[in-house]
Amino acid sequence: MLLKLVFISLKYLSPSIDVAQVSFHISQIPVEPSFIPHSSSISYGDLFKWCETRQAFIATDYRMDVKAAQRLQLSAVVVQPQKIGRTFGCRLGMSREPRRLRVFISAKLSSTIRRRTATVEVACSYDNIPASILESGNHHSHLDEDLILKNRSQEIQPYLNGRCIYLVGMMGSGKTTVGKIMSQKLGYSFCDSDALVEEEVGGNSVADIFKHYGEAFFRDKETEALHKLSLMRRLVISTGGGAVMRPINWKYMHKGVSVWLDVPVEALAQRIAAVGTNSRPLLHYEAGDAYTRTLTRLSAIFEERSEAYANANARVSLENIAIKLGQRDVSELSPSAIAIEALEQINSFLKGEEGYYAEC
């Protein structure tokens, strides 16, 4: 079951508190069925452990107080869940005096209860300041995402050991957007293999290379670019959507860790239709309106490539992230949320690699 809790930005601890600075980040904690939000049945110890591993926040009860939190150099969030019919609420109190933030969270168990997710409504107050003034709701503050990205990056660094990360996926899947975030957090450089090809071919755009020299020529140049990149270290590489189709390219990509950004074709078509298909020569053929045309072509291309994408070491499914975060539409997922999932999937892959347990 997923129990959603609130992460509270530590910014509020500033003595000259500005209520507008208080922000909430609703996140999800994967919890065991025994964590059903009853004060009696929640294992705080396990919840505590979960928080500790993520270095994000600490949840405890009043008696466990703040000692453990201090040990971890975190502020304590006091959670007192209570069940009220089909609704459960948590009263959160911040333990740092004299400033005391009180937050009331009421979480309605929605009709998705059978799928074991809960939607959360947040109401909050700071002393007499009404809840409506405070930033609240299903909001991901950049600060919190930044912190998570930083922590996840630190977790995988020792096991990556300077190896490159190759992002694979359909055109428009976010390889460039997400790759730039990942590279920044990992302290890696970012490289777009299409850009390397363009540079090799005298600064011609990919669309021009296709037009003047043909796709086969482009693919050869792409393989050369991947070969060059495979000799380098500490890069996040955004590969062209078709790079997965040549086995030789996998030989190069397997020198690093490959991650498939798996985005539903409908979402890809929406993104690409919004920016136009000029730079994507493989989408120039179909008739109809921009969205339908793009969707038809993308669906056919995905059909041919899905097996090849599955060769990647890790898969980042936007549908799975949306389920995890309780969002209905994958288009609501921020690039940072996707980057976080990518780092988590890389972590799982690295931990499964032979030799990991021996090293630990």
Ligand X SMILES: Nc1ncnc2c1ncn2[C@@H]1O[C@H](COP(=O)(O)OP(=O)(O)O)[C@@H](O)[C@H]1O
Ligand Y SMILES: O=C(O)C1=C[C@@H](OP(=O)(O)O)[C@@H](O)[C@H](O)C1
Interaction site with ligand Y (CB under 6 A): 171, 175, 194, 206, 240-242, 280-282
Of the two residues 103 and 272, which places its CB atom closer to ligand X in the complex?
272
Give φ, ψ of 158 to 5 degrees: -65, -30
Choose the contact partner of 277 out of ligand Y, ligand X, none; CB within 5 to 8 A by kind.
Answer: none
Give me the amino acid identity at 194. Answer: D
Of the two residues 148 and 259, which places its CB atom closer to ligand Y in the complex?
259
Nearest to 239 by CA among 193, 201, 284: 193
Q: Which residues pair with 4 in a beta bridge?
A: 28
Choose the contact partner of 275 out of ligand Y, ligand X, none; CB within 5 to 8 A by kind.
Answer: ligand X
Choose the contact partner of 264 out of ligand X, ligand Y, none; CB within 5 to 8 A by kind.
Answer: none
258 binds ligand X (CB under 6 A): no
Of the two residues 9 and 176, which places its CB atom closer to ligand X in the complex?
176
How many residues bind ligand X, per CB under 6 A? 15
Greatest CA separation found in the chain?
Answer: 73
Of the two residues 95 and 176, which places its CB atom closer to ligand X in the complex?
176
Segment lying near ligand X (by CB under 6 A), choices 21-29, 70-78, 103-111, 332-340: 332-340
Q: Which helix (H) or strand (E) holds 237?
A: strand 235-238
Of the two residues 47 and 339, which places its CB atom closer to ligand Y in the complex?
339
Of the two residues 174 and 326, which places its CB atom closer to ligand X in the complex?
174
Of the two residues 3 and 321, which places its CB atom closer to ligand X in the complex?
321
275 binds ligand X (CB under 6 A): yes
Q: DSSP class of residue 288?
A: S
Cβ at position 272, least distance to ligand Y in Å: 9
Choose the contact partner of 271 out of ligand Y, ligand X, none; CB within 5 to 8 A by kind.
Answer: ligand X
210 burial via Cβ count (<10 Å: 0-12, 13-18, 19+): middle
DSSP assignment string, 144-199 = HHHHHHHHHHHHHHHHHTT--EEEE-STTSSHHHHHHHHHHHHT-EEEEHHHHHHH
Interface residue with ligand X among 89, 93, 281, 335 (CB under 6 A) is: 335
Of the two residues 37 and 240, which places its CB atom closer to ligand Y in the complex?
240
Of the two residues 144 and 194, which places its CB atom closer to ligand X in the complex?
194
333 binds ligand X (CB under 6 A): yes
Distance CA 56, CA 341 (A): 16
Q: Are 322 and 263 in contact (CB under 8 A)?
A: no
276 binds ligand X (CB under 6 A): no
Cβ at position 266, least distance to ligand X in Å: 13
Give φ, ψ of 325 to 5 degrees: -90, 0
Instruction: Name the residue with tokens 């078509």.
Output: 269
Cβ at position 357, least distance to ligand X in Å: 34
Q: Are 205 and 193 in contact (CB under 8 A)?
A: no
Choose the contact partner of 338 out of ligand Y, ligand X, none; CB within 5 to 8 A by kind.
Answer: ligand X
Cβ at position 143, least distance to ligand X in Å: 19
Q: Of 162-181, which residues contact ligand X (CB under 6 A)?
A: 169, 171-177
String of b and e for 168-204 (b: at least 16 CB within 10 Å)? Answer: bbbbbbbbbbbbbbbbbbbebebbbbbebbbeebeeb
Give me the amino acid identity at 118. Answer: A
230 binds ligand X (CB under 6 A): no
Interface residue with ligand X among 54, 163, 219, 271 (CB under 6 A) is: 271
Task: Return the C-alpha torsion angle 249, 225, 286, 332, nearest 10.
Answer: 80
Instruction: Name the residue with tokens 């190069």.
Output: 252
Under the rule (CB under 6 A), what is the footprint of ligand X?
169, 171-177, 238, 271, 275, 333-335, 338
